[in-house]
Amino acid sequence: MSRIGKKPILIPKNVEIKINDGEISAKGPKGELSLSWPSELSVSLKESGAEGKEGKELTIGVKKKTKRSPALWGLFRSLAFNLVLGVSDGFEKKLEINGVGYRASVEGKKIILNIGFSHPVEVEAPNGIEFKVEKNIITVSGADKQLVGQTAAKIRAQRKPEPYKGKGIKYLDEVIRRKSGKKVAGSE
């Protein structure tokens, strides 16, 4: 029994859900996404029966019990919830650039990073991903949670933060463990 899997997903009014054989597609203000589900699971869309909550709800159940069906049940419910949340509100990751002379700028669908190399580094945005830059903060936003995270990780990998001065690209909420240099360590 999956505690996460048995919770229904409430569908907002601005999201349209279609269920075809083996695939859910959602369309909303932020875009359109689809997700295919395994044969062990069943998906149904019905009117919400909860008081004060009008609209539709998506429920996921187990069609045939196998060894991996409880794990797939919870996983697929989370993926379907992220699908609905993505097309209605969207997801975003913020990165911070630290370092003297380190800059970022957006040109069309790509971001240009000046991060201490002899050449500027360009990162292309996949379909459905947008970049915004304000001072030293890069915002990666889109409807697909996995694609937003993967693109943000790709940008961070261009110049990971180093532990001595903290120079590099890090997530906004990330804490970098700093090391003391050999001069500080030698004086103790």
Instruction: Give the bridge partners for 42, in sequence order.
Output: 61
pLDDT at 70: 86
Name the phi and psi angles at 162, rounded to 5.
-95, 150
pLDDT tens-digit series, residues 153-181: 999 999 999 999 999 999 999 999 999 88
Q: Where are the alpha helices (DSSP H) in the chain?
A: 69-88, 145-157, 182-186
The Cα–Cα gap between 171 and 163 comes to 15
Indicate the class that CATH gives domain 2-87: alpha beta
The Cα–Cα gap between 42 and 61 comes to 5
Provide CATH 3.90.930.12 ranges for the chain: 2-87, 90-169
Mark residue 90 as left, alpha or beta (left: phi above 0; alpha: psi -120 to 50; beta: remaining).
Answer: left
Asked whether residue 68 carries a pLDDT value surpassing 90, the answer given is no
Measure CA 105 to chain center.
22
125-137 in b/e burial notation, b at 16+ Cβ within 10 A? beebbebebeeee
- The pLDDT mean for the chain works out to 91
User: Which has more pLDDT, 19 or 1?
Assistant: 19
pLDDT tens-digit series, residues 2-48: 788 889 999 998 999 999 888 999 999 999 999 998 888 989 988 87
The Cα–Cα gap between 63 and 128 comes to 33
Work out whether the CA dihedral 55, 58, 59, 63 comes out positive or negative.
Answer: positive
Q: What is the pTM of this model?
A: 0.87
Best CATH choice for the domain 90-169 from the list 3.90.930.12, 1.10.10.60, 3.60.15.10, 1.10.287.990: 3.90.930.12
